[in-house]
Amino acid sequence: MAKSGKITKLLTVPQMDLLKRLDEEEIQIFTFENVLSSIGNTENLKEILDNLVQKGFLYRLERGKFCRSTFRDENVTGTFVVPDSAIAYWSALHLHGLTEQFPNIVFVQTIHKKNPLSILDTDYRFIKISPQKRTGIVFNGYGNYRYPITDVEKTIVDCFDLPQYSGGFAELIRAFYQAELDANKLINYCIAVGNIAVIKRLGFLAELLDKKALLPFVEFARTKINRTYNLFDTFGENTGMTETAWYLRLNLSKKSILGIVENIY
């Protein structure tokens, strides 16, 4: 048996017992509390975990959160380290097959504030949202590899709401054009997010790109039009013709938008 506070080269019986229990229950990623409730009030559990981390059998993700040293899933890890979260924005666009661009940061949406992290050579960015915006969550994967992600419609709405996390406006237009979207889901998520400018941009795009399945959404969007002109491209210059029907300034022309989607295939 290892003496308290010391790291031994060989596995002790309690350490082997814990690894065996993790194997039996097929646990790859867990918290201190998970293990405590699963195996009971084990004496010196913190020391056992510390030893297993030092010996390379476990990896400490952050305080009180661990995974097996062989476990690698950046999406599971990113949503595990912060509660009430989901893979979102550019990362979700990529996972839904709506962009070929691969983000070098994993974007995680959460209702909690959390600073950026780097875990196992992967960088994470956590975007805090208000609780009423947390909707449209589905799950990918199974077992230890199951993680929450915003569905296609919520991903589109979120990306238009915060395009700085979306890989570029042109890429976002392509994603909207290619996505098979449910009009009712789009309506509900737009109501939850509560950004009138986003509703106007999406309504204009749905009409311009002749997405017939979104006619109910276009009708909804028309009821939300206000008399404030918004830039179509949030990060573009304040230039271009005005689209009076939608109260948008087209700093990206209709011709340019159509050119973006025509070059997809």
Residues 197, 235 within the same domain: yes
Residues 64, 79 within the same domain: no
Q: Looking at residue 9, what is its pLDDT? A: 61
Residues 84, 45 within the same domain: no
**In a 3-state reduction of DSSP, which class is residue 76?**
helix
Residues 19, 122 within the same domain: no
**In a 3-state reduction of DSSP, which class is residue 174?**
helix
Tell me how far CA of residue 125 lies from CA of 65, 74, 106, 133, 148, in angstroms. 18, 12, 6, 18, 16
Strand order in the sheet with 65-68: 29-31, 65-68, 58-62
Question: Higher confidence at residue 56 or residue 8?
Answer: 56
In terms of Cα–Cα distance, which of 94, 99, 92 is closest to 151? 92
Residues 239 and 211 sit within 8 Å (Cβ to Cβ): no
Task: CATH number of the domain at 25, please.
Answer: 1.10.10
Tokens describing residue 97: 């097959």
Per the prediction, the chain carries an average pLDDT of 93
List, for residues 61-99, the tens digit of each pLDDT value.
999 999 999 999 999 999 999 999 999 999 999 999 999
Percent of the chain with pLDDT strictly greater than 90: 83
Q: Looking at residue 172, what is its pLDDT? A: 95
List, for residues 246-264, the tens digit of each pLDDT value.
999 999 999 999 999 987 6
Per-residue buried b or exposed e for 160-185, using 16+ beta carbons within 10 Å of the residue's own CB: bbbbebbbebbbbbbbbbebebbbeb
Q: How confident is the model at residue 5 (pLDDT cuts 50, 70, 90)?
A: very low
Beta-strand (E) ranges in 164-261?
230-231, 241-243, 248-250
| Lowest mean pLDDT across 43-47, 58-62, 110-114, 216-220 | 43-47
**64 lies in a domain?**
yes
Residues 42, 142 within the same domain: no
CA distance 61 to 76: 12
**5 lies in a domain?**
no
Residues 66 and 144 sit within 8 Å (Cβ to Cβ): no
Average pLDDT over residues 113-131: 97
Q: How confident is the model at residue 35 (pLDDT cuts 50, 70, 90)?
A: confident
Residues 40, 86 within the same domain: no
In one-letter notation, the amino acid at residue 204 is F
Q: Looking at residue 156, what is its pLDDT? A: 98
Q: How confident is the model at residue 190 (pLDDT cuts 50, 70, 90)?
A: very high
Phi, psi of 231 (to 5 degrees): -65, 140
Q: Looking at residue 263, what is its pLDDT? A: 73
For residue 209, pLDDT over 60 is answered with yes
List, for residues 154-176, the tens digit of each pLDDT value.
999 999 999 999 988 999 999 99
Residues 163, 246 within the same domain: yes
**7 lies in a domain?**
no
Phi, psi of 125 (to 5 degrees): -120, 125
Instruction: Output the pTM of the full model.
Output: 0.92
Residues 144 and 67 sit within 8 Å (Cβ to Cβ): no
Q: Looking at residue 40, what is its pLDDT? A: 62
Whole domain around residue 142: which residue ranges?
74-262
Number of domains within the chain: 2
Average pLDDT over residues 214-235: 96
Element (H, E) at 205: helix 196-208
Residue that terminates a domain, selected from 52, 68, 84: 68
CA trace torsion 219, 223, 226, 227 (10° rounding): 80
